[in-house]
Amino acid sequence: MEFGPAQKVHTHTPNKTKMIPLAVAIQGLEGMPALILTEQAVQHGIQRRRRRRSRRRICTLYHLDSDTITTIVDLLHDDLVSLISIRTAIPTLLKVVCVLHFLATGTYQHTVGQLDGISQPGFSSVLNQVLDALLKHASATISPPQTAQEVNDTKIALHALAGMPNVIGVLDCSHMELVVQHAVELVYRIRKQYHSINVQMVRNARKMITHCCARYPGSTHDSMVLQNSVLPRYMEQHAARRAWLLGDAGYPLKLWLLTPVMNPLNRHEEDYNRAHTLTCVVIEQTFGLLKAWFRCLSRSGGPLI
């Protein structure tokens, strides 16, 4: 196939709108010269980009934003401040960020210590201090709804997910890998051939953990963890409020614990199972987020010792 000589194609070009220079457009705003306003706008944009990059860097290292880290530091300051030697003491902020880095990455203690200028023995002491301080405040942060208003608000939020009425939480367990001593390793070994603890949690619709039990080895069944926790006593106290928990088929059916219908026979039972499954998704999301934020809880990171 042959082509003829190239021909010039004439296109219609619309009239361009006459642009007003920025310096002229903003001349006289608040009596400030236009060039100064332009320079300030550029500097503001640069500072905003720097802050954005700084926030991304913080989230990458610690998997938490700067506001959350500041809240944790303020909460633990009185428990972590050292009165022995002010000059040689490790600052509270450094203690918190080192531990958060360790929990977020699941790496070794000496690696985190080298990055932050702390020796491995020093970081081991700091780790115990921060974890003890967090456990001290855990009961005030992780607690089920107590008042009638809190219970009703929780019911309304969970009902909006899939239509399950009178539900105040979703219950489930998940295995967190850890390194154990040889003398007790059989108790912590699970069928997937690694050692873990079986952690029980309850979550509401507002992405808040309202109950956590992390004291039983991985070989303990989910129903046994539930039976030996404080959760049954709490739910029996609130049975008069028609408050229920949702759990999977691994739990027994109770007056305050609803499980799926194993063999649904009619449309109502199928609708119940569908709503039950859609509501129980929130606790699976919680375990996924926790293991993504804190690699020490996931097999992709280093197991806890």
What pLDDT digit, counting tens, does each position of 93-117 carry?
888 888 888 888 877 776 776 666 7
Alpha-helical segments (H) within the chain: 22-25, 34-62, 66-80, 92-105, 109-116, 120-136, 138-141, 148-162, 185-188, 222-227, 231-237, 267-293
Total number of domains in the chain? 3
Name the pLDDT band for 13 (thresholds 50, 70, 90).
Answer: very low
Q: Would residue 13 count as lying in a domain?
A: no
Domain boundary among 46, 61, 76: 61
Question: Domain of 44?
Answer: 23-61
Q: Would residue 16 count as lying in a domain?
A: no
User: Residues 286, 224: one domain?
Assistant: yes
Question: Residue 65 pLDDT more than 70?
Answer: yes
User: Residues 121, 72: one domain?
Assistant: yes
Q: Measured between alpha carbons, how far apart are the two ends of the chain, in Å?
A: 75
**Per-residue pLDDT reduced to its tens digit, 156-204:** 999 999 999 999 999 999 998 887 777 678 888 888 888 889 999 999 9
244, 257 Cβ separation under 8 angstroms: yes
Other CB atoms within 10 Å distance of the CB of residue 168: 27
- Half-sphere exposure of 78 toward its Cβ, with a 13 Å CA cutoff? 3
What share of the chain in percent tops pLDDT 90? Answer: 30
CA 282, CA 261: separation in Å to the nearest integer? 19
User: Residues 51, 85: one domain?
Assistant: no
What is the enclosing helix (H) or strand (E) of 258?
strand 257-258
User: Residues 151, 272: one domain?
Assistant: yes
CA torsion sign, 181 to 182 to 183 to 189? positive
User: Residues 131, 164: one domain?
Assistant: no
Q: Would residue 8 count as lying in a domain?
A: no
Q: Would residue 259 count as lying in a domain?
A: yes
User: Residues 160, 112: one domain?
Assistant: no
Domain boundary among 61, 87, 108: 61
Q: What is the mean pLDDT of the segment spanning 121-129?
A: 85
Alpha-helical segments (H) within 209-293: 222-227, 231-237, 267-293
Instruction: With CA atoms as reference, report the closest residue to 151 among 102, 210, 68.
Output: 210
User: Residues 52, 151: one domain?
Assistant: no
pTM flag (> 0.85): no
108, 304 Cβ separation under 8 angstroms: no
User: Residues 31, 87: one domain?
Assistant: no
CA 273, 275, 281 angle in degrees (round to 5)?
Answer: 100
Domain boundary among 138, 160, 194: 138
CA 230, CA 30: separation in Å to the nearest integer? 64
Q: Would residue 4 count as lying in a domain?
A: no
User: Residues 56, 72: one domain?
Assistant: no
Instruction: With CA atoms as reference, report the closest residue to 296 among 111, 80, 119.
Output: 111
Name the pLDDT band for 145 (thresholds 50, 70, 90).
Answer: confident
258, 235 Cβ separation under 8 angstroms: no
User: Residues 233, 106: one domain?
Assistant: no
User: Residues 91, 180: one domain?
Assistant: no
pLDDT at 4: 43
User: Residues 149, 197: one domain?
Assistant: yes
Reduce the secondary structure of 57-105 to three states and give it as a string. Answer: HHHHHHCCCHHHHHHHHHHHHHHHCCCCCCCCCCCHHHHHHHHHHHHHH
Q: Would residue 14 count as lying in a domain?
A: no
